[in-house]
Amino acid sequence: MKKIMKEGLDYYVELIRYPLHLIGEISIFIYQSVKAFEKPRVLSRLTIEQMFYTGIQSLPIIIVSSAAIGLVTVFQAEFQSRGIMPKIYISTALVKATLEELGPLLTGLMLSGRVGASMSAELGTMKVTEQIDALAAMAINPYRYLALPRIIAVTLITPMCTAVAELTAILSGFMLATLTMDIPAVTFLNGMKISFYPVELFGGLLKSLIFGIIIGISGTFSGFHAEGGAKGVGDSTTRAVVAASVLILFADYFVARLVFK
């Protein structure tokens, strides 16, 4: 009986200890990364390289996905509102949904799957093969040359990718509405005008900025703490994507509560 009680107590202690330990490790990681902000010229070069990989090479999948989202949104808006409300409000629904939710959220989740996983796998491989330790042994700060440029790059590029995704979704919805639904272009554009508020645009971009920070920290932190060979790299990559995706969904809710009152 005592053994069962002890095992149960140990389980709950570990249940409390692990999240606190994880929060402590993440806090130290963020502190070390911010502390490494030196040598702007070298940092900017590394950041630009990461921005090219993070943003430019991610654009094709983001454009294709956002175009599909625009088509589905317009189709469903027209189908659900058929005979209920004027067609001018189809573009209203598209713009509001895209700027406030679909654009930032789609981009964040796509980048967490592509960029977050890639960063974690790359840095995790460097960790288990002791390349990161070798940099530290040569007095090269791994946070400055590996973590910080990636965090800054994905933070800056996520709002840019979000803007492209939103524009693509609206354009694809516009094409579908005007070419197949007999909605005049003037009607579609007027519906966009009456529903557009700057706070929706800037609120969505603020979301994407926060999503970028989450993706960058999650991907680099998981990579820096990978262990156990190839399996450990795979586990760290999975943790990076899952953690970033869940945090993005929660951040989406809290930012929406703050901005869209």
Same domain, 20 and 47: no
Same domain, 46 and 27: no
pLDDT given at position 180? 86
Same domain, 140 and 14: no
Same domain, 128 and 155: yes
Stretches in the chain below the pLDDT threshold 50: none
Tell me how far apart the alpha carbons of residues 162 and 140 are, in angstroms, rounded to a whole number: 34
pLDDT given at position 41? 61
Same domain, 136 and 197: yes
Structural domain containing residue 14: 1-35
pLDDT given at position 1? 58
Number of domains into which the chain is organized = 2
Tell me how far apart the alpha carbons of residues 102 and 5 are, in angstroms, rounded to a whole number: 48
pLDDT given at position 82? 78
CB atoms within 10 A of CB 39: 13
Same domain, 104 and 183: yes
Same domain, 210 and 100: yes
Same domain, 26 and 103: no
